[in-house]
Amino acid sequence: MKTVKAFAPATVANVCCGFDILGFAVDSPGDEVILTQKNEPGVVVKKIVGDGGRLPLEANLNTASVAVQSFLSAIDSTVGIEIELFKNLPLGSGMGSSAASAVAALVGINYLFGNKLTREELIPHAMEAERIACGSAHADNVGPSLLGGFVLVRDYHPLDVVKIPVAANLYCTLVHPQIELKTEDARRVLRPSVALKDAITQSGNTAGLMVGLMSGDTNLISRSLKDVIAEPVRSVFIPGFEAVKSEAVKAGALGCGISGSGPTMFALSGSHEIALAVGEAMQRQFLKYNLKSEVHVSRINLDGAKIIDL
């Protein structure tokens, strides 16, 4: 009987100015799956650990099984697969929780098939899972979770996902306050049009961030980590947002913003020590707004999801 265990990392989508086009992966935390080949055809979610019973076990609704089904259908296989999912990422946190489950399952099933598909070829199957999880088949979480590093989603028609060759050595602080936000709600507050000058500012900062990342210019990265489109309307969902961000920068972060659609906030720093101090400062500030939070500090992940020992 063939069985495999895989890990897929949490991801930060948007990255301030990179709204809807950019994401990066962290080393940890992440979700794990164990896939086991079974005799009867069909994909089954056998158990989920760590979700507090909130995720669906139905194979057509769970992101891990939907991704595996999409993969099997693409390669015309009717093999049976049993999935055990270990959720380490909180749901609705903005840390790419649904993406991580789908990506771990895909990297696992692909391994069972001798890595038949490339990482890039797995992306559309992971996007199918995202469509189930949050209503839109976006790639800015699954892209970096699969490929590692910073990933640009330049276009969807056709899909154009580019791994950015990053020279900067960066550390990420994730601070997850104990509130929950639905991606749909965070999308609903976005206005359908933006001022031309804001679109230009956002483009300029996106370009600056790319140049900074690729040339290792942390000062330019810092100047570019601004979001004039989504953050002004979405930050109202996060009590203390401005104060927490301000404390992150005071503690030495290059920049700070909303991770995905929130409520997790992320900060990027130039060293592990600074990233730790930034986490403490942000957590302390959230407490002033009566919000407990979990802090994760990690290097930027370079390789994406991986097979791990059983």
For a second copy, the binding residues (CB under 8 A) are 17-22, 152-155, 160, 162, 164-165, 190-196, 198-211, 214-215, 220, 223-224, 229
Smallest distance, a second copy to C-beta of residue 20, A: 5
Q: Which of 168, 264, 217, 227 is nearest to 22 (CA)?
A: 227
User: Could you tell me if 138 and 178 are in contact, meaning their C-beta atoms sit under 8 angstroms apart?
Assistant: no
Please state, in angstroms and as integers, the Cα–Cα distance from residue 30 to each residue in 50, 85, 139, following that order.
12, 11, 17
Smallest distance, a second copy to C-beta of residue 96, A: 19
Choice between 54 and 157, CB closer to a second copy? 157
Smallest distance, a second copy to C-beta of residue 208, A: 4
* DSSP secondary structure, 108-166, as one string: HHHHHTTS-S-HHHHHHHHHHHHHHHHSS---TTHHHHHH-SEEEEEEETTEEEEE---
Please state, in angstroms and as integers, the Cα–Cα distance from residue 210 to each residue in 163, 170, 200, 245, following that order.
11, 14, 15, 22
Choice between 61 and 167, CB closer to a second copy? 167
Choice between 91 and 194, CB closer to a second copy? 194
Choice between 13 and 106, CB closer to a second copy? 13
Smallest distance, a second copy to C-beta of residue 299, A: 21
Smallest distance, a second copy to C-beta of residue 132, A: 23
Choice between 121 and 180, CB closer to a second copy? 121
Q: Which of 225, 217, 216, 229 is nearest to 248 (CA)?
A: 225
Backbone angles phi, psi at 278, to 5 degrees: -65, -45
Smallest distance, a second copy to C-beta of residue 30, A: 25
Choice between 191 and 284, CB closer to a second copy? 191
Residue 31 pairs with which residues in a beta bridge?
8
Smallest distance, a second copy to C-beta of residue 29, A: 27
Smallest distance, a second copy to C-beta of residue 8, A: 24
Backbone angles phi, psi at 101, to 5 degrees: -60, -45
User: Could you tell me if 241 and 233 are in contact, meaning their C-beta atoms sit under 8 angstroms apart?
Assistant: no
Choice between 194 and 243, CB closer to a second copy? 194
C-alpha span between 145 and 17 (Å, rounded): 20
C-alpha span between 214 and 50 (Å, rounded): 37
In what helix (H) or strand (E) does residue 168 lie, and over which residues does it extend? none
Length of the chain equals 310
C-alpha span between 258 and 248 (Å, rounded): 12
Which residues fall within 8 angstroms of residue 158, CB to CB, at 6 or more apart? none
Choice between 24 and 71, CB closer to a second copy? 24
